[in-house]
Amino acid sequence: MSAVAAVLQRDLRLAMRRKSEVLTAVFFFVVVASLFPLAIGPEPDMLRKIAPGILWVGALLASLLSLARLFAADYQDGTLEQMALSPTPMPLLVAAKVLAHWLLSGLPLALLSPVLALQFDLDSATMWVLFSSLLLGTALLSLLGAVGAALTLGVRGGEVLLSLLLLPLYIPALVFGSGAVEAQMVGMGYGAQMSILTAMLVVAAFFGPWACALALRIALE
């Protein structure tokens, strides 16, 4: 576990040295969520209706911005080869990198979502459901995105291929995440959507690091 903690601390420290890359996704999310109310107008009913889709799509697109760089630097400087040769299982090291990615790109989006939801005239209960769904959803997006980033590592035009590969995989998270918020808004139970989102996260957390480690070993050969 000391090796896992070292990888996590290393990625967080490197990210703090490149703050512009970390803040790009956050600024993108804020800009997307802020422009739609200005473009549509101050009609509360319309804003409440489109809020779940806008905020979830903004978070989904923002999470894509930093995925291409998740393993690229380590691939170029030989760190991935050292991870592959380490006595620590590579899936655990990969899980630490995914956790660092979520802490830097996913968690800030979830924390900002209640503030941005004020622009859409959402009540406090709906804001809580939005925050909870994004907290689970961004972790799921990071796990799925890590697998996609590993599969496209070192491939020419990998960023475009990564987007085409991940968008179909992101759709279920988008549907159930925004669906939970919409269910709360209309007074229905949102437990089913949140349960499905949690189940997808558990499955991705178990299989994702293994699939990612296997893809990275293939890229290193």
Handedness of CA 22, 23, 24, 30 (dihedral sign): positive
Identify the pLDDT of residue 1: 66
Dist. CA 177–CA 135, nearest whole Å: 10
Identify the pLDDT of residue 34: 86
- DSSP conformational letter for 199: H
**pLDDT above 70: residue 111:** yes
- Give the SS3 label for residue 161: helix
The residue among 137 and 165 whose pLDDT is bigger is 137
Identify the pLDDT of residue 128: 92
Identify the pLDDT of residue 133: 92
Q: Which amino acid is at 66?
A: S
Q: Which amino acid is at 128?
A: W
For 33, 80, 92, 135, 138, the CA distances from 2, given in Å and listed in that order, are 39, 17, 11, 26, 26
Dist. CA 169–CA 82, nearest whole Å: 30
Question: Which candidate, 179, 202, 187, 169, places its Cα nearest to that of 133?
Answer: 179
| DSSP secondary structure letters along 143-155 | HHHHHHHHHTTT-
The whole-model pTM stands at 0.89
